[in-house]
Structures are given as structure tokens and as C-alpha cells.
């Protein structure tokens, strides 16, 4: 046990510094001798000992539950892999637990240690039927409440049990909590979601400000919010389940459809995970291209964030100004990738096409143009006294809450949490560019807004440094026609447009993944909405929802 743990630490703590291909010859893809850079060797813990082990890790400063992956290992049982990170040291630990009981699988809940585990455990319950003792709200999260079976189990007969239902989805008013008694027996008790006299208003699923098909049940006291209950899954497409029957190159196609404003970064994360698992080193040119594309995508996302926030707050003019500028970036994407929203650009071992000849001049035009128009956006919207009154001090998330809820990206950085993966675990070409990690202390909506606006400038500076230094080289490594990832568990993450986007890949050596789990950037943000909004006014829900910047297809997957 001890040795495994040390090994895991060393592997995770060492920053994955990519070396140029010319300096260090890449290991042969055919037979990787050394373990892959991103392979994880989780600490294996019995379910009975899990609670104690997690408490120990939490006490050891592993304060950020980065990812929780439910897995059905069949003969090894049903279980989870917990990815824990220490925000102070950057150490990463993976913990694996599994129970052999398929009829009534039970695991202890850790939702009191990390707030985000609440929604992650509901997801695992939804897909695998594992029930967590001590979890206050054991409801399905994505699937209908009258769904039969647990579709991610390898032996589930999903289609047979679930014909197309012509009835409306029932929404429960109470929920189950399993209590693990001292003598080892489990009792069930009911918790109500809303109190009897609550005035509950539905915000969504069809609503202009939820940025997609998201449904909040909001209990109001006059105009003040008492409680929010998010109902997810309206555009759950089961991407992770579909991936289990696709070949590796096919799985790439679906990543763009999760966070459509982080399409580049999502696909980058999956490609990087598979490449590292295979031991493929991509060329320097590919690294730089991917970095530039990621940054363009980030600017695109942040400008859209600005526009939508302005629109939500009633400033329609600012909205269109934002869209005017975003168009320039989409044009650049269109020339090189052929797509504007769904880009399909990264591939395993490279990128789909070489850069369009116009790419460099257009990016060079874009940098000064955007710097100017940012000033215009600030003059139009940021300095406006109405906006400042509506954003300052609204929806404050403290650093502790941000970490506990796993709110990465701009939302976490606004609270003073240094969580930028481009700095803490550099990948692609981020180790060779100079940029600042934008961090603010207040944690309110205005800080979240300013973080994004300032990040646009940092991204522009990264582009500026790279645009003249795109190395020559191959844009695609030679790959086998059928890609088979060696058996093992792999985890890679990138800094997406709105936080850490992680990919957990479990392979049995086949041509398709055994389990592919994405750490969604938006799910923790939606989970934090109740805490963020309680006590605020109904209009603040819109401001807060706009500034935490979740994307619903990314939440639902």
C-alpha cells in the first residue's frame, strides 16, 4: 500500500513538462516500455474502510475532489475512483473502491467532506445504482425518476426496460436518505425538498436565462430566494455510455458537443489522454497549434460570456457588440477547421488539417482589434453604475466554498483560488509562454466577470507570443489504423474555458474504451448554485447564473 501511494504521488506531482520532439526522441508507440505518463495507480480501499481513508486524506489537505468516476468492473465489482487534489501542494491521489454486491450496492458518502460529492454521488447512483449511505438526497440526477435500471452497468438491459414513455416526467417532492447505523444496519428516511408553504417557481427548462435546457425549482420568499433545486438531464445524451461502443477516433467526435464553447480544449484533453496512454509524443508544431486554438477558443468563450451576461441583465446593445467581435474568431476557426462551433480539429497524434495560410495574418489582425474593442466593451458595460450595483457583492463564493464545490476556472479564481492548470500542471506549449494567472479575492459576481475580461487579455498575449513562433513539423504522427490503448487507468486534464476539464479513461486493451468519464466543468458550478443564490433576490439568480458561466450540454453530457 505504502509503495503504491508514493509512486502515485511522484507520478502526479511531477509537472508534465513536454519536451520538444527534436531534443528527446519519442518512445515508440508500438511497445511502451515505461508506464504511460498519465497512467494512474489508485489506492485500493475496501468500502468498509473508505470513510476512514477519505477522512484521513481530507485531514492531509487533500481538499479538492477533482473527479469522481463510477465504474462497473464486472467481476471486480461496482465502484468509484475518487481523484483528490491538494490545492496547496498540487499533489494528486486516486482512490479506488468497489463492492461486489450487485443487488444492493452500498458505499459510504463523502458529501459532507467535499460539497461537490453530493452531485457526483447522485450521478453514480443514477448510472450504476450504487447508493451512498449518509447522502442527504439520493435522487436520480440526469435520467427520469421513473427510469428502470442503471444504464452504465455492463449487464443493464436499458432499451428493453425503458420503452419510449409518453407520460410527463414525474418530479419528486421528497427524497431518500440512507442512514448507516452503528451496528452496521442501514435504515432509510425521507427528506422533503421544499417545505409545505413554499412558493416554488420553475426557472426553466425553457427559459431565456438558463443558457440551455436547465431547470431550477426556486423557492421564493417574496422576491428573495430560499432554496434552489436544480433538475438536470434535459439534454443528457449519454455521451460517456455511447463512447464505450465507439473506437477511439470515433469518441473524439462527441467531445465538441459537450461544452461547445470549449470544443477545442475538450478534444485536446481527450487526444492528450489517449496519446499519453499510447506513449505518442506529438510534434512541436502540433503543440503550438493546439495551444493557440485553445486560447482562441477561450477568448471566444469569454466574449460570449460577456455578451450573454449583458443580455441577461438587459443590456442588449452590449450583447451585440460582443457578438460582433466573436465573429472574427469564428472566421479564423472556419478557415482552418471548416467549422465554426463544432470544430473537429484535434486528432489522436496531431490535428486534422494544417493551418490555413490566412491563419497567421488574421490572428495578427485580431490581437490589436480585440484589445481595442475590449476597451469599448468596458466603456459600454463594465463601468456602468447599474451593472456595478447589480454585480458587486452579489453571489459571494468564498475560497473554501469554491474548493469544496470544485468550482474551478474563473469562478474559483475570482475567490482567490489559484487553480489554473496551465500554470500548475503545464501541458502542450504553455510552459514556453509567459502569462499571468488572473486571480481576484472578492468572489462576487463582479470579480467573476472581471476575471474573464482580464483573461481575454492574457490569452491575447499568449497568442501574440506564439503567432510568430509556430515551429515547422508534422501535423500528424503516424498512427496505427486501429488504435488500442494498453490496459490501465489514465487521467489527463486541461484548463477548459470554464475550469478543469478532465478525462478518465479505463482501458482493457480493446479498440474502444472500457469506461470514459469526463470531468465536466459545469456540473460543480450548477451544484453550487443553491449556496450561491440563497438569500439573494430573483434577479440575482440571473446575474449569478450568468457569471458562473455554466454550459448545459457540458453539465448533462
Partner 1 sequence: MFDFKIVTEWLHGALTGIMPEWAAILTESVLVALAVITLYAVFAIILIYMERKVCAFFQCRLGPNRVGKWGLLQVFCDVFKMLTKEIINLRNTDMFLHNLAPFLVVTASMVTFACLPWNRGAQMIDFNVGLFFILAASSVGVVGILLAGWSSNNKYSLIGAMRSGAQIISYELSIGMTMLTMICLTGTMSIQGIVEQQYAEGWNIFRGHIPAVIAFLIYLIAGNAECNRGPFDLPECESELTAGYHTEYSGMHFGYYYLAEYLNLFICAGIATLVFLGGWAPLHIAGLDGFNNVMDFIPGAVWFIGKTFFVVFLLMWMRWTFPRLRIDQILALEWKYLVPISMLNLVLMALLVAFGLHF
Q: Which three cell numbers, joined as nine digits, stand for 87?
A: 490545492
Shortest gap between Cβ of 407 and partner 1 (angstroms)?
A: 23
- CA dihedral for 147, 152, 157, 158, sign (positive or negative): positive
Edge-to-edge, what's the strand order for the sheet holding 106-108?
106-108, 131-133, 174-180, 186-192
Of residues 256 and 325, the one with the C-beta less far from partner 1: 325
CB of 162 vs partner 1, minimal distance in Å: 32
Instruction: Kindly state whether residue 392 participates in binding partner 1, applying the rule CB under 8 A.
Output: no
By CB under 8 A, is residue 539 in contact with partner 1?
yes
Q: Which one of the spans 89-97, 201-209, 432-440, 527-535 is the region binding partner 1 (CB under 8 A)?
A: 201-209
Closest CB 323 distance from partner 1, rounded Å: 9
Binding mask 394-433 for partner 1 (x = CB under 8 A): ----------------------------------------
Contact between 444 and partner 1 by CB under 8 A: the answer reads no
Instruction: Please list, in sequence order, all residues whose beta carbon lies within 8 angstroms of the beta carbon of residue 26, skipping any fewer than 6 positions away.
Output: 279, 280, 281
- Collapsing DSSP to helix, strand or coil, 260 comes out as coil
The least distance separating partner 1 from the CB of residue 217, rounded to whole angstroms, comes to 12
Radius of gyration of the chain (CA): 23
- As measured in angstroms, the least distance from the Cβ of 521 to partner 1 is 23
Query: Three-state DSSP class for 26?
Result: coil
Interface mask toward partner 1 for 483-512; x: CB under 8 A: ------------------------------
- Chain-centroid distance of CA 468 in Å reads 31
The 3 state secondary structure assigned to 332-351 is HHHHHHCCCCCCCCEECCEE
390's enclosing H/E stretch is: helix 385-391
Contact 138, 56 (CB under 8 A): no
User: Taking CB under 8 A as the rule, does residue 549 contact partner 1?
Assistant: no
- Give the separation between CA 208 and CA 192, rounded to whole angstroms: 29
Contact call for residue 537 and partner 1 (CB under 8 A): yes
Q: Give φ, ψ of 248 to 5 degrees.
A: -60, -50
Judged by CB under 8 A, the residue of 57, 271, 318, 332 near partner 1 is: 318
The order of strands in the sheet holding 515-519 is 488-496, 499-507, 515-519
Work out whether 207 is an interface residue with partner 1 (CB under 8 A): yes
Task: Report if residue 540 touches partner 1, rule: CB under 8 A.
Answer: yes
Q: CA 314, CA 295: separation in Å to the nearest integer?
A: 29
Segment holding 197, helix H or strand E: none
Non-local CB neighbours of 547 within 8 Å, separated by 6+ positions: 309, 391, 395, 411, 445, 448, 449
Work out how close the CB of 361 gets to partner 1 at its nearest, in angstroms, rounded to a whole number. 24
- Is 303 a binding residue for partner 1 by CB under 8 A? The answer is no
Q: How far is the CB of 314 from partner 1 (least distance, A)?
A: 3
Q: Of the ranges 105-113, 152-160, 380-388, 501-509, which one interacts with partner 1 (CB under 8 A)?
A: 380-388
Q: Which residues of 94-107 are buried (b: 16+ CB within 10 A; e: fewer)?
A: bbbbbbeeeeebeb
Among 199, 358, 400, 509, binds partner 1 (CB under 8 A): 199
Q: Is 372 in the site for partner 1 (CB under 8 A)?
A: no
Q: Which of 15, 208, 357, 509 binds partner 1 (CB under 8 A)?
A: 208
Binding mask 256-295 for partner 1 (x = CB under 8 A): ----------------------------------------
Residue nearer to partner 1 on the CB measure, 180 or 537: 537
**Contacting residue, 63, 300, 312, 495, with partner 1 by CB under 8 A:** 312
Asked if 143 touches partner 1 (CB under 8 A), the answer is no
Residue among 3 and 206 whose Cβ is closer to partner 1: 206
Q: How far apart are CA 544 and CA 537, in angstroms?
A: 10
Q: Closest distance between partner 1 and the C-beta of residue 87, in Å?
A: 34
The sign of the CA dihedral 290, 293, 299, 303 is negative
- Contact between 390 and partner 1 by CB under 8 A: the answer reads yes
Q: Do the beta carbons of residue 61 and residue 88 sit within 8 Å? A: yes
* For partner 1, the closer CB: 322 or 522: 322
Q: Which stretch binds partner 1 (CB under 8 A): 175-183, 268-276, 415-423, 535-543?
A: 535-543
Q: Please give the Cα distance from 399 to 142 (Å, whole number).
A: 28
Distances (CA, A) of 229 to 139, 201, 466, 481: 12, 11, 44, 47
Among 24, 52, 386, 400, binds partner 1 (CB under 8 A): 386
Q: Which listed range, 29-37, 61-69, 196-204, 264-272, lies at the site for partner 1 (CB under 8 A)?
A: 196-204
Q: Which residue, 352 or 539, has its beta carbon nearer to partner 1?
A: 539
Tell which one of 359, 381, 435, 501 touches partner 1 (CB under 8 A): 381
Nearer to partner 1, 207 or 423 (CB): 207
Q: How far is the CB of 288 from partner 1 (least distance, A)?
A: 34
Element of type H or E holding 147: none
Q: What angle do CA 194, 405, 211 make, to 5 degrees?
A: 70
What number of helices (H) and strands (E) belong to the chain? 19, 16
Q: Is 387 in the site for partner 1 (CB under 8 A)?
A: yes
Residue with cell 512541436: 284
Q: Which is nearer to partner 1, 108 or 546 (CB)?
A: 546
Interaction of residue 367 with partner 1, rule CB under 8 A: no
Q: What residues make contact with partner 1 under the rule CB under 8 A?
A: 199, 201-202, 207-209, 223, 310-318, 320-321, 324, 380-381, 384, 386-387, 389-390, 537-542
Amino acid at each position: 500500500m505504502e509503495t503504491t501511494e508514493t509512486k502515485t504521488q511522484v507520478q502526479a506531482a511531477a509537472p508534465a513538462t513536454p519536451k520538444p520532439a527534436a531534443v528527446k526522441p519519442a518512445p515508440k508507440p508500438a511497445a511502451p516500455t515505461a508506464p504511460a505518463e498519465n497512467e494512474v495507480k489508485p489506492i485500493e480501499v475496501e468500502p468498509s474502510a473508505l470513510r476512514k481513508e477519505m477522512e484521513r486524506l481530507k485531514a492531509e489537505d487533500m481538499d479538492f475532489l477533482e473527479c469522481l468516476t463510477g465504474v462497473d468492473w464486472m467481476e471486480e465489482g461496482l465502484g468509484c475512483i475518487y481523484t483528490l487534489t491538494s490545492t496547496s501542494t498540487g499533489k494528486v491521489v486516486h482512490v479506488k473502491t468497489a463492492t461486489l454486491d450487485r443487488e444492493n450496492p452500498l458505499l459510504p458518502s463523502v458529501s459532507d467532506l467535499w460539497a461537490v460529492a453530493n452531485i457526483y454521488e447522485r450521478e453514480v447512483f443514477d448510472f450504476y445504482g450504487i447508493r451512498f449511505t449518509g447522502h442527504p438526497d439520493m435522487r436520480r440526477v440526469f435520467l427520469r425518476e421513473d427510469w428502470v435500471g442503471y444504464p452504465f452497468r455492463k449487464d443493464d438491459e436499458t432499451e428493453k426496460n425503458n420503452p419510449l414513455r409518453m407520460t410527463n416526467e414525474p418530479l419528486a417532492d421528497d427524497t431518500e436518505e440512507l442512514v448507516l447505523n452503528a451496528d452496521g444496519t442501514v435504515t432509510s428516511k425521507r427528506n422533503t425538498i421544499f417545505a409545505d408553504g413554499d412558493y416554488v417557481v420553475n426557472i426553466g427548462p425553457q427559459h431565456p436565462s438558463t443558457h440551455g435546457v436547465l431547470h431550477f425549482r426556486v423557492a421564493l420568499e417574496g422576491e428573495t430566494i430560499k432554496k434552489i433545486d436544480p433538475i438536470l438531464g434535459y439534454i443528457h445524451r449519454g455521451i460517456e455510455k455511447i463512447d464505450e461502443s465507439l473506437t477511439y477516433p470515433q469518441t473524439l467526435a462527441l467531445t465538441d458537443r459537450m461544452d461547445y464553447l470549449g470544443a477545442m480544449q475538450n478534444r485536446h484533453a481527450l487526444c492528450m489522454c489517449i496519446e499519453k496512454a499510447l506513449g505518442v509524443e506529438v510534434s512541436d508544431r502540433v503543440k503550438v497549434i493546439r495551444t493557440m486554438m485553445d486560447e482562441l477558443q477561450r477568448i471566444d468563450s469569454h466574449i460570449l460570456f460577456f455578451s450573454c451576461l449583458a443580455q441577461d441583465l438587459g443590456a442588449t446593445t452590449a450583447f451585440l457588440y460582443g457578438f460582433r467581435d466573436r465573429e472574427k474568431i469564428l472566421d479564423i476557426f472556419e478557415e482552418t477547421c471548416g467549422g465554426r462551433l463544432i470544430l473537429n480539429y484535434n486528432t489522436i497524434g496531431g490535428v486534422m488539417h494544417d493551418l490555413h495560410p490566412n491563419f497567421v495574418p488574421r490572428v495578427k489582425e485580431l490581437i490589436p482589434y480585440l484589445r481595442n474593442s475590449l476597451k469599448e466593451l468596458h466603456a459600454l458595460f463594465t463601468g456602468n453604475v447599474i451593472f456595478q450595483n447589480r454585480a458587486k457583492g452579489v453571489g459571494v463564493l468564498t475560497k473554501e466554498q469554491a474548493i469544496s464545490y470544485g468550482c474551478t476556472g474563473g469562478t474559483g479564481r475570482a475567490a482567490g483560488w489559484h487553480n489554473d492548470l496551465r500554470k500548475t500542471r503545464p501541458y502542450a506549449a504553455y510552459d514556453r509562454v509567459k502569462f499571468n494567472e488572473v486571480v481576484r479575492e472578492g468572489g462576487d459576481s463582479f470579480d467573476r466577470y472581471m476575471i474573464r475580461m482580464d483573461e481575454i487579455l492574457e490569452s491575447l498575449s499568449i497568442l501574440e507570443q506564439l503567432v510568430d513562433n509556430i515551429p515547422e513539423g508534422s501535423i500528424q504522427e503516424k498512427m496505427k489504423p486501429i488504435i488500442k490503448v494498453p490496459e490501465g487507468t489514465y487521467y489527463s486534464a486541461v484548463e477548459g474555458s470554464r475550469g478543469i476539464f478532465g478525462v478518465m479513461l479505463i482501458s482493457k486493451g480493446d479498440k474502444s474504451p472500457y469506461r470514459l468519464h469526463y470531468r465536466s466543468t459545469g456540473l460543480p458550478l450548477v451544484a453550487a448554485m443553491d449556496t450561491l443564490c440563497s438569500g439573494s433576490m430573483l434577479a440575482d439568480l440571473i446575474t449569478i447564473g450568468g457569471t458562473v458561466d455554466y454550459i448545459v450540454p457540458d453539465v448533462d453530457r
